[in-house]
Amino acid sequence: MDFRYLGNSGLKISEITYGNWITHGSQVENDVAGQCVRAALDAGITTFDTADVYANTAAETVLGDALVGERRESLEIFTKVYWPTGPGGPNDSGLSRKHILESINGSLRRLRTDYVDLYQAHRYDTETPLEETMQAFADVVRQGKALYIGVSEWTADQIKAGVALAEDLNIQLISSQPQYSMLWRVIEGEVVPACEEVGVSQIVWSPIAQGVLTGKYLPGQPPPAGSRATDENGGSTFIQRLMTEPILEAVQRLKPIAAEVDLTLAQLAVAWVLQNPNVASALVGASRPEQVAENVKAAGVTLPEATMKQIDEALGDVVVRDPSLTARSAPAGRPS
């Protein structure tokens, strides 16, 4: 496993981060989830990402249980706050001082740790002053409950404003967690340049595009039984926009390119996002331990420039690049 610095900080994280969105507490049984976490540890992954909203807090509990007995100082544990949790009351979501300070305590209890290495704003809260949000994060850091602060799916302007306030408060906002893959490149136009300017790294989610970039979904054929596209617990909802004939056909054109560099399609997809120097880590999940062992082989891979060009030619116009989609996909108001 290779490691990279996260933003303009001294914190190193593994190039592959194990994330348990969708899977833990919902898609897979807890014993299998534990096996996946063990496989991640065995593969050299030290960085683990979750959120309080995943399976309505159950995912944090599963991860905390799976990491019992590990040396805490050898791990980087990340979680997030914003989306509704609990019964969904008026203060059970957002980035208000009340919700942040209450949520961090719940997350620490479920994760069975005294602190998280990175506490992330899961979205931008349009209904709470940014000054209030950042002051609450600063208090979390000063209380020793988080070491660093990050954000997820914030626009370039929001990130720059957050970093400026963090600097005023003498805390470090060092990361952005956006969606990024060969197929979804909306961060390249504005978010990445802004983050390079202010010393923020990307921890990218869905580098395999919900599994589409594994090549297992074939044009003109139904999804394989047991795949995410057939999952009724939420997986199928997120993958539907990718299940189009043009996209599936383009992905099949990547197969010979992956073979040329002796990688599976999934490994090629993960290696591709890691070629971006502003990306510190690629988030991968798993419903089976062997998936972790496969994906981790993308760490440390350098793709030739010719391969990168072949990928662009193979995907053509199915690639989404519009930078305005970061703002357009964000909630207009606090969810309930």
140: enclosing H helix or E strand:
helix 130-142
Using the predicted structure, report yes or no on whether residue 27 has a pLDDT greater than 80. Answer: no
Residue 335 lies in a domain: no
Q: Which residues are catalytic?
A: 54
**pTM confidence score:** 0.92
Using the predicted structure, report yes or no on whether residue 196 has a pLDDT greater than 70. Answer: yes
| Whole-number Å distance between alpha carbons of 188 and 192 | 5
Residue 199 lies in a domain: yes
Residue 334 lies in a domain: no
Split into its structural domains, the chain has a count of 1
| Whole-number Å distance between alpha carbons of 163 and 178 | 16
How confident is the model over 117-164, as pLDDT tens digits? 999 999 999 999 999 999 999 999 999 999 999 999 999 999 999 999
Higher per-residue pLDDT: 234 or 157 = 157
Residue 100 lies in a domain: yes
Residue 203 lies in a domain: yes
Residue 137 lies in a domain: yes
Using the predicted structure, report yes or no on whether residue 99 has a pLDDT greater than 80. Answer: yes
Q: How confident is the model at residue 237 (pLDDT cuts 50, 70, 90)?
A: low
Structure tokens of 239? 């993958």
- The mean pLDDT of 241-259, rounded to a whole number, is 93
| Helix, strand and coil in the chain, % to nearest 5 | 45, 15, 40
- The mean pLDDT of 18-30, rounded to a whole number, is 66
Residue 197 lies in a domain: yes
What pLDDT is stored for residue 113 in this prediction? 98
Residue 33 lies in a domain: yes
What pLDDT is stored for residue 240 in this prediction? 77
281: enclosing H helix or E strand:
strand 279-284
What pLDDT is stored for residue 204 in this prediction? 98
Question: Which range (30-34, 92-96, 120-124, 257-261) has the least confidence?
Answer: 30-34
Residues in CB range of 244: below 8 A, 6 or more apart: none
Q: How confident is the model at residue 72 (pLDDT cuts 50, 70, 90)?
A: very high
How confident is the model over 310-321, as pLDDT tens digits? 999 999 999 999
Using the predicted structure, report yes or no on whether residue 25 has a pLDDT greater than 50. Answer: no
Task: Look up the domain containing 222 and give its range.
Answer: 3-328
Residue 19: CATH number of its domain:
3.20.20.100
Using the predicted structure, report yes or no on whether residue 220 has a pLDDT greater than 90. Answer: no
Best CA proximity match to 243, nearest among 231, 226, 229, 233: 229
What pLDDT is stored for residue 332 in this prediction? 87
Q: Tell me phi and psi for residue 80, to 5 degrees.
A: -140, 160
Mean per-residue pLDDT of the chain: 92
